[in-house]
Structure 1
Amino acid sequence: MIKSWMVIGGVAFLVALGANFITPGDVKWFKRLQRPRWLTFEAAIPVIWTIVFICGAWSAYIVWEKEPGTTATWLRMALYLLLEIVTIAFNPVMLRLRSLKAGTIIGGTGFLISIILTLVVLPVSGWAALLLVPYLVWSPIGTYTTWAMKRLNPQDA
């Protein structure tokens, strides 16, 4: 029998593959952009996002296990899925459009969805809500960083 954590992890993995819809030219554009002097942690960003996504999937698992298969739980799962899709869309959309403004908007949208998700999950499980805190902390940092890069690279706004 397939376990719920396998399904949640599998869906998260499949959605994460969407981040690969970029070209070498997209990456080249991004690498030439100026960065804020304080951006010293860029190499750690993939590790940070991996931790954030693991926490999000674990949170979804806890919520599913509390009330499996109910309409309310399916709606919560849809919100988790929407958050991951928006988050994964950040790089491909920003890089394809070559627009830091698009990245800033997507980042801000993800943060708003994460606030809503956390508030919806909190009555179900405090632990599940707590596992969303890394997203709530990191998302504004990433969004602010993109916004700061937009100011340093107005031609690529």
Structure 2
Amino acid sequence: MSGCDPQIRPLPHVSCEANATPGSGITTRQVVKPEYTGPGWSGKRVRRTAEWMPDPAGGLDGLAAALALAVHRSLTGHRELLVARYELALEATRRPELRAFYDTTGAVFRDRLTALAAAFGSADPARHALSLVAWADGLMFSCVAGSYSSRPPGPDEVRTGLRELLGGMLDR
């Protein structure tokens, strides 16, 4: 698909890695094949994807800004990849080999967010990581496939929402 940025990637996207392009006739279902979900494939791509996550030294405002940038880029520059990701998630509920891949790749983000929450003084880093993922996933789904699809939030709105969520979680 066009717009695949190897530096900022919201989540692992097999359609991007398989060079699916608009009009190519390649669908998510066709792209999600065992050769795209093997251990050598997922580890390298997921490690690269997780590297963009922010450094705690930037403070809570820096964390909110970095996460908001990634979410907003997903909404505005990678909408087709978000749709493919949700299709992959649904397909993973029916195919155990995809479930294992999806869970393994997701664990990289969960672990990194858990570590970030701990670094910021979270009383319950695992629960707060889940809240961050749920917030971002809910926002992205609503703006790509839900009732907000015609009006995705701007970067300031995303940053403000994340800052409020982080402030509430971390009592700041």
Fold agreement, TM-score > 0.5 = no
Larger RCO (CA within 8 A; separation ≥ 6) = 1
- Could you tell me the TM-score, scaled by structure 2's length? 0.26
**Bigger share in helix:** 1
- Could you tell me the TM-score, scaled by structure 1's length? 0.28
